[in-house]
Structure 1
Amino acid sequence: MSNPLFAARRSLFALTSVALALSAHAAAPNQLETVVTTATRSPQRLADVLADLTVITRADIERMAAASLADLLRASGCAEFSRNGGPAGTTSLYLRGAETRHTLLLIDGVRVDSQATGGPAWNNIPIAQIERVEVLKGPASAIYGSDAVGGVVQVFTRKATSAPQVDLGLGAGNLGIRKLDAAVTGRDGIFDYALSAALDRSTGFNATLDVPGSFSYVPDTDGYRKHQATARLGAQLSSEHRAELVFLKNHLNSQYDASKFSPTNDDHTFQDTRAMRLSWSAQWSAALQTQLSVGESRDRYETRPSPYQTETRIRNTALTGSYRLGAGQQLNFALERTTEHLDNSGLVAGGVDDRAQNALGLGWLMNAGALNLQLHARHDDDSQFGGVNTGTLLAGYALTPALRVVGSVGNAFRAPTLYQRGSVYGPDLSKPGVKALDAERGHNAEIGLKFALGDHEASITTYRNRVGNLIVFGAAGSCGSSFGCYENVSQALLKGTSLAGRARLGVVNLSATLDFQSPTDASTGKLLARRAKRLATLRADTELAGWQIGAGVQAAGQRFDNAANTKPLAGYALVTLDAAYRLQKDLKLQVNIDNATNRDYQTAGGFASQPRTVVLSLRWSPQL
C-alpha cells in the first residue's frame, strides 16, 4: 500500500510548481488583501506580513466543521496535537514542535492560560462563535511577552454586521452528536452588537484502550456536553473613537476513566473558561492611534468524584498604539501590566499564589519599496524572578513583484507557572544550593520565500529554534517531595522546513501544507514525545450541480509516546469529506464526514481517537 504521507508530499510539490510557473493574473480578489493584527499587534495587510502567518476564515470554519479548535488547526496544517480520547479530552497542542505551554492563546486580545498545567485548555475553546483565527508561527515574546516561544494563536469571535442578521445552526450525527448554535448581529445608531450561543453534546466512545500497562481502561463510553456564549457590544462614539466590550464563557462537562480499579465510578471533568475585555480605541490624528484595554480571563478545572480543583485568573491592563513617522515608517508601542493568580490546594503557601509582570514594548516598521524591515524589543519585569529582555529583527526583500525572500532572528521566554514554583514539587529555597526556577528561553532564526500571484500562493520557511532552561519533572532532592521535583535542566532543538501552497486550477481550489520537522531533546537527539517528523495536509473543493464539495487528507508520521523513544505511535492519514447545498437563499444543508475511512490511530498512548463521524446540519442565515 502506498504511503499517504508521500502522496500528500508529491501533491504539494506539484501544487507549488504550478503556482510558481503561473504568469496570468486572476481577476478574483485573493486572501492577501485580508487585514491582520497578530503579526505586529497593529493592522496590516496579509501581503505585507514578514512572519509565517496563517489565517483561517469563518467560511473555512463552517466548511470543515471541526470538532474543536485543535482539530481545526490540525486540518489547516498549522499544528499537531495529542489528546486523551475525544474532542473534549485533555489536549496538548504542538506548534512547530514546541511544548503546549509555549504557544500563547489570545481570545479577542485576552490572554488565556492555566498556571497549574501550563498552557490553555485547547479542548474548551468554542468553534461556533469564532469569526477568524490567526496563527503566528515562531517566537513573538518581543511583541506579546511570556509564553510565545513557539508562536501565537489568536481567536476572534463574531463581529457586528451592517444590517441585522440572524444565524442559526442545527446538526446531528452518530456517536450521539447534537449541535445547536445561534447568533444575532447588527447595528442601531452608534451601537453595534454580536451575540451568540452554542450547545454541543455527544455520547462519545470508549476513550481508553485495553493495552498492557493501562491503568485507566474501563469498557464504557465517554461523552461530553458543552455550552458556550459570547457577547460583543460596541459604541462608535465618533469617527475617531470607539468603545467595545467583549465577553465569553465556555463550560465543558466531560466523562473520563480515572481508574480501572473503580469501574463503576462515573468520572467527570468540569472546565470553565471565561474572558472579558473592555477597550477604547482612538485615532488622535492621521499619524497617531491608541487603544486602552482592561481584560481578565479565568480557567477553572475540577474532577469528580475524585476531588481536584484549580483556578487561574489573569488580569491585563494595556496601552498600545502606533505612530506614523513618515512615508513608509511606523513606530508601535505597548505598555502593559499583567497579574496572575492561582488557587490550588497543592500550593505550599496556603493554596494560593500571585505575581505581577510590568512590560514596555517598542516596534519599528519600515517599508522602502522592495525592502521591508521590522525591529521589535520588549522588557518584562516579573515580581518573582526579575527582568527579561526580548527582541526580534525581521527583513523582507521583493525579488520580483510576485516573489519575496523573508527572514528573522529573535528570542522568547516562558515564565515558570505558579504551580511549578510554589507547589511541593517546586524548589525548596531553604535547602543549600537550590535556586529558584528561571524562565524557559528560546532563540530562533528562520528564512523563507513567499510567492503570490493572483489566486496562487506558495511559501517555504526553514527555522531553527533552540529552547533552553526547559522545565521538567526530574529527580527528588531539590524540593519537599520524595516523588520528584521541577527543575531547569533540559534543552530542546526545534528545527524544520514548512511548505504551503494554494491555487485555483480550473474549477478546483487546492491547498496543501507539508512539514519536515525535527523537534528533539538537544542532549540526547531523541524526538520529543508525541511529535512526528513529517506532517502534511491536502484539500480540494469545487462546485458541482449546485453542490459545494470538498475533501481533505491530514497525515502524520510515526511518533513516540515517551521521551526515551521506546514506545512508538504509528503514523496515520485521515480523510475528511464535506458537501453543502443551498436549499434557499438563506438556508443551507451540509454533511461532514470526519475520519471517513474509520482509521484506528492514537495521538497519546492508551487513548483511542474519534472514529468515523457523520454529521448532517442545517444553517439558516437571514437578514432582518
Structure 2
Amino acid sequence: MPLRSLLVFFLAAACPSFALEGRVVDPDGKPIMGASVSLLDHTGVVRTDWDGRFVWTPDPSPPFYVLIVLPAGTYMSPVFVEALPTDGPLVVVVEPLVSESVMVAGGAAPNIEAPPGSATTSFPAETIQERHSARLTDVIQNVPGAGRLSDLHASVPSLRGLARGRTLLLLDGARVTTERRAGPSATFLDPFFLEGVEVSRGPGSVAYGSDAFGGVIHARTRRVAPGAPTTVRVRGALGAGLPEATAGVELTHGLEEGGFVVQARYRNFEEYRSPEGVVFNSGATDKGFLARFAHRVGPGNFSIGWQTNLGRNTGRPDSRGEAFQTTYPEESSNRLTMSYDLDPTAGFTRLGFQGFWGNYRLVTERLTAASVGELSSESLADVRAKDFSFRGFAVRPIGRARWEVGVDIYGRYGLEALSSHTLFDRDDQILRQVEELPVENARRLNNAVYTSTEMLLGSRWSLGAGARVDRVTTMNEGGFFGDQSTANTALSGYGSIKVELARGLSLTGQLAHGFRDPTLSDRYFRGITGRGFITGNPNLGPEQANQFDASLRYRRGPVRWAVFGYFYRLSDLVERFETRDDFFLFRNRGEADIRGLEAELQAELLDGRYNLEVVTHWSHGNTRDDDAPLDDIPGVNVKFNLRRNLADSRGYAQVRVAIFACDERPGPTETATPSFTTVDLGAGWRLSPNVELRGTVRNLFDTTYPVSPDLRAVLAPGINAVIAIVGEF
C-alpha cells in the first residue's frame, strides 16, 4: 500500500475506540501536565495533557502497574492497579520512589519503541548515582545478558552477545555512531548527569532499522519541569585503587511554560591497580558541557540542546605490557538535538518529530617498543565524520488497537580517515615516515518507513505486529579502495501473541526478522585499531537475522519476576578474523546461532525497607558450519543486589554480589576466562536537606579476573573505593 494511502487510512479511521482513560495527579490532587505514562510489560508511552489526563490503547486488563515519569525525568513509584473504577477515569496519584532507587525490572522503557516480546529495564537517575556508575557498561551491569567489550575506560556495551554494531546506542533519541570495530560506546559520557537509562533486550529492527539485532540502550540527559525553581547541583568525587577525581555542576531553571538546564563536568582517571600491581596505560580524562532549552510552542513542546563531550588520552592497556601502547589521544563529540511533541489531538495520543546533527572525531595512536630484530614505531589513525537524523511518528487508537506509523532517516557523511606510520632507528631518530589517506570521502544514507500495532482480542489475548522497509546506500570516493558504492533494500518485521494465564501472569511469544548493514569502516577503512591493524572489505553484504523470543512474566504486589528465552539465527554473518598476530580482515561467514535464557526477580521486603534484585542468564553462540564458538557471548553469571533504607530514607546501604562461571568456549579472538566472584558495597547518608555523602567499595576481596575475554586483556581493578559528595541548592 503506498505511504500516502496508508496515512489517509490511518488518519481517517473512525472505528470506535476501547481505551483506558486516566488522570495523573500529585498527592495534593493537582494535575500533572506533560508526564509520561507507561504500563509495565506493555509497549508504548503516552503523555498527559494540561489537566493530567491520558488515554491508553488497547485497554489493559487488571492487575497491572502504571509507571509515571515526570516532565523533568523523575521516576515515580510504580502504581499497582488491582481493579478499574466503575465510573470515571482511573486516577493515578504519584508518590516519590520510596527507596529513591528502583530498577524497573522486566517492565518498561518509556522512551524506546520496543516490540511486545522484548525485555525492558529502566534505570532512574538516583540508581545511577547511588551505584556511582562511571560508564554505560556500569549502569547496565545488572541487566541479564548485558556484556562488555574492550577495556575499562573504552568499554562498549552489548546485549545478548550481539556486539560490534548489533546493539543500538541512543543518546537523547539519536544514534551514537563510531568507526570503532568494537561498536559505539559513548565512553566520554558521564552517567551522573543523565536523567535515566533505558534498555530493551531483543529485536528492535522495526522501529530502528540496522544495528538493533540485540536491542537498544537509550541514555537521556536531564530535562526541566515547567515552573521548577532555580536549582544548582554540584558533585565531587575522589577514588583510590581506581584513582579518580571528578567534579561537576548543573544549573536548572523552570519557566512558566518551559525551562533550561546547563551542565559542565570534568573527570580524570589515573592508572589503576589490579591485584597484581599497577596496570600500565589504564588512565583516561574526559570533560563535557550541555545546554538545553525547552518551551511550549503552539500546540506542543519544543526542545533544543547542544552537547559537547571530549575524551582525552584514553588508554587501551595490553597484556604484553609497555612494549605495546595504544591510546585514544582524542575522542570528540558535538551533538545538536531538537524535538517537537504535540499535545494529544484529533484522536492521536502521540505525534512528534526528532532531529539531530553532530560531528565526531576519534584519534588512535599505537607505540611499539624496539625488540630483537624490530625497530620502534608510531602509528596514527585520525577518523572524523558528521552525522544526522530525522524521525517523525504518530500514534493513535483504532478500535481496540494501538497503531503507530513513522519515518526514519539517518546517515553519516564526510567520513575521512588519515593515517601515518613512523619508524625509528636505535637512536630514536626518524628512519622512515609514511602518510596515507585510507578513506578520502565516504557517506551512508538510510531511508525508512515503519508501522506497528498492538491489538486486544477479548480480555486475555493480544496480538502485536510491525513492519519496516529500509533503503541503505553507501558511497566511497578515492582512498585505499577507490570509488565504491552499495545499495541494499531490507524488510524487517515481527509478529507477537500474548496471553494472560492468570491475574498478573502473562506468556508472550514473538517471531521477528531484521538486518544489519555493515559500517562504512567495515567496508572502506584500512589502518590501526585499538587491538591491531585491520583492512575493510567493500564487498561485504548485509547480515540478516531470524529471531524467536518467549517470556513468562509475573507482576503483582511486592514481587515481580520474569523469565525470557531466545533463539536467533544470523545469516551472512559479518565476521572479523585474524590472519596473523594483530592483523584482521572482514568477511561474510555463513550462518550462526545464538540462544539463551534470562531470569530476573525484584521484591520489596519488610514493608519496603529492603529491595532485593536477582538476575541470571545463560547464553550460547556458535557457527553452523563447524560449531565454532562466537566472539562476544557473555558467560553464565548470577547477580544479587540487596538495598536497605535507613532512617526514613535519610540514608541507604546496599551490597552487590556477582558470581561468574568459567567460560571454556572463547571466540576466535578471545581467551578462556576462569570463574570468579566479586562483592561491592555502597552507602549514603543525607548530612542535611541539601547535602548527601555517598561511598562505594568495589571488588571488596581483591579478586583477580580479566577485564574482558579479549586475547590482549589485562586484569580488572582490584579493591577500589570512591567517596562522593552531592549538593543541591
Q: Which residue of 2 aligns with 1:17?
A: none
Q: How far apart are residue 205 of structure 1 and its match?
A: 2.1
Output the CA distance in 1 between the equivalents of 2:575 and 2:269: 35
Q: Which residue of 2 aligns with 1:592?
A: 696
Q: Does structure 1 residue 247 correspond to structure 2 residue 306?
A: yes
- For 1:489, which of 586, 589, 595 is the aligned residue? 589
Classify 1:265/1:184 alpha carbon distance in 2 versus 1 (closer, same or farther; 3 Å): same
Amino acid at match of 1:173: G
CA contact (8 A) 1:315 1:339 kept: yes
Unaligned regions of 5+ residues in structure 2, if any? 1-79, 84-92, 366-377, 420-435, 474-485, 527-534
| CA distance 1:186–1:220, change in 2 (3 Å) | same
Equivalent pair of 2:541/2:572 in contact (CA under 8 Å): yes
Matched position secondary structure for 2:138 = helix
Q: Do residues 37 (structure 1) and 110 (structure 2) align?
A: yes
Separation in structure 2 between the aligned mates of residue 275 and residue 306 of structure 1, nearest angstrom? 29
Q: 1:353-432 residue pairs with structure 2 within 5 A?
A: 353-368=442-457, 369-383=459-473, 384-423=486-525, 425-427=535-537
Q: Which amino acid aligns with 1:235?
A: H
How has the CA–CA distance of structure 1 residues 266 and 122 changed in structure 2, closer, same or farther, with 3 Å as cutoff? closer
What is the CA distance between 1:267 and its match in structure 2? 5.3
In structure 2, how many angstroms separate the alpha carbons of the residues matched to 1:530 and 1:265?
A: 23
2:352 match: 291
Aligned 8 A contact 1:555 1:573 in 2: yes
Match of 1:462 in 2: 565
Paired AA for residue 335 in structure 1:
V
CA drift at 1:68: 1.1
Whole-Å separation in 2 of the counterparts to 1:258 and 1:564: 18
Residue of 176, 181, 188 corresponding to 1:117: 181
1:157 equivalent among 209, 221, 225: 221
The within-5 A match list for 1:25-104 is 36-40=109-113, 50-77=117-144, 79-84=146-151, 86=152, 88=153, 90-104=154-168
- Cα drift, residue 231 of structure 1: 2.3
Q: CA deviation at 1:115?
A: 3.5
Residues 529 and 560, structure 1, Cα contact 8 Å, conserved in 2: no
Aligned residue type for 2:620: S
The Cα offsets for residues 5-43 of structure 1, whole Å up to 9 and x where unpaired, read as: xxxxxxxxxxxxxxxxxx9989988959987434427xx
Q: Aligned pair count? A: 570
1:235 counterpart residue number: 295
| Amino acid of the structure 2 residue aligned with 1:166 | V
Note closer, same or farther for the CA distance 1:34–1:473 as it changes in structure 2 (3 Å cut): closer
1:521·1:528 contact (CA, 8 Å) conserved in 2? Answer: yes
- Residue of structure 2 in register with 1:5 after alignment: none
What's 2:44 paired with?
Answer: none
Please give the alpha-carbon distance, in whole angstroms, between the structure 1 residues aligned to 2:176 and 2:416.
16
State the Cα distance separating 1:423 from its structure 2 match.
3.5
| 2:192 partner SS | coil
Provide the rounded CA distance (Å) in 1 between the counterparts of 2:189 and 2:325.
27
3-state DSSP of counterpart to 1:100: coil
In structure 1, the partner of 2:641 is: 539
Higher relative contact order (CA 8 A, sep 6+): 1
Deviation at 1:233, TM superposition (A): 1.1
Query: Higher mean Cα deviation, 118-127 or 199-208?
Result: 199-208
Say which one has the larger Rg.
2
1:224-271 Cα distance to aligned partner (Å, 9 max, x none): 111122222111124x31111122222111234579797698955321
1:330 and 2:402 matched: yes
CA distance 1:24–1:313, shift in 2 (3 Å): closer
Instruction: Tell me the amino acid that sits aligned with residue 490 of structure 2.
Output: V
Displacement of 1:276 in angstroms is 2.0
Q: 1:207, 1:222 within 8 Å by CA — same for their partners in 2?
A: no
Q: Which deviates more from structure 2 when the two are superposed, residues 602-611 or residues 344-353?
A: 344-353
Contact 1:385–1:438 under 8 Å retained in 2: no
Partner of 2:340: 280
Distance 1:34 1:582, change over 3 A: farther
Would you say the 8 A contact 1:209–1:607 is kept in 2? no
How far apart are the structure 1 equivalents of 2:453 and 2:191?
35
Q: Structure 1 residues 309 and 465 mapped into 2: Cα distance closer, same or farther (>3 Å)?
A: same
Report deviation, 1:76: 4.1
Structure 1, unmatched stretches of 5+, are 1-22, 42-47, 211-217, 429-435, 477-481
1:219 deviation in Å?
7.0
CA gap of 1:533–1:221, structure 2 versus 1, over 3 A, is closer
Aligned counterparts of 2:195 and 2:360: Cα–Cα separation in 1: 22
Q: Which amino acid aligns with 1:322?
A: V
CA distance in 2, matches of 1:246, 1:316: 15
Report what 2:27 is aligned to. none
Aligned residue in 1 for 2:726: 619
Task: Report the 3-state secondary structure (helix = DSSP H, G, I; strand = E; otherwise coil) of the residue aligned with 1:244.
Answer: strand
SS of 1:59 mapped into structure 2: helix
SS state at 1:60 partner: helix
Deviating runs (4+, > 6 A) in structure 1?
23-30, 32-35, 206-210, 258-262, 346-349
Counterpart of 1:4? none
Q: TM-score, normalization: structure 1? A: 0.84
Question: Is contact 1:540-1:552 (8 Å) kept?
Answer: yes
Q: Return the letter of the residue paired with 2:525.
A: S
The CA deviation string for residues 55-87 of structure 1, in whole angstroms up to 9 with x for no partner, is 111121111112211112113445121332x3x
For residue 293 of structure 1, report the CA deviation from its aligned partner.
2.3
Deviation at 1:297, TM superposition (A): 3.5
Structure 2: distance between partners of 1:467 and 1:244? 39
CA distance in 2, matches of 1:250, 1:207: 28
Distance 1:412 1:110 in 2: 20
Please give the residue correspondences for 1:147-296 in structure 2 after superposition, counting only pairs within 5 Å.
Answer: 147-161=211-225, 162-174=228-240, 175-205=242-272, 220=280, 222-238=282-298, 240-253=299-312, 254-256=314-316, 269-283=329-343, 285-288=345-348, 289-296=350-357
Task: Give distance in 2, aligned partners of 1:544 and 1:350.
Answer: 57
Name the CA distance, whole Å, in 2 between partners of 1:209 and 1:494.
35
Which moved further from structure 2: 330-339 or 541-550? 541-550
Q: Contact conserved, 2:577 with 2:668, CA < 8 A, in 1?
A: no
1:607 matches 2:696:
no
Task: Find the aligned partners of 2:194 and 2:186 in 1 and give their Cα distance.
Answer: 14
Query: Quick check: 1:551 aligned with 2:615?
Result: no
SS of structure 2 residue aligned to 1:351? strand
**TM-score, normalised relative to structure 2:** 0.72
Deviations along 1:550-603, whole A, 9 cap, x unmatched?
011123222369535983111222211101111111111111111111111101
Q: Secondary structure at the match of 1:295?
A: strand
Alpha-carbon distance, 1:422 to partner: 2.1
Match of 2:387 in 1: 314
> What is the deviation of 1:438?
1.1
C-alpha displacement at 1:496, in angstroms? 0.9
**Aligned mates of 1:40, 1:592 — CA distance in 2:** 34
Please tell me whether the aligned partners of residues 463 and 497 of structure 1 are also in contact (alpha carbons under 8 angstroms). yes
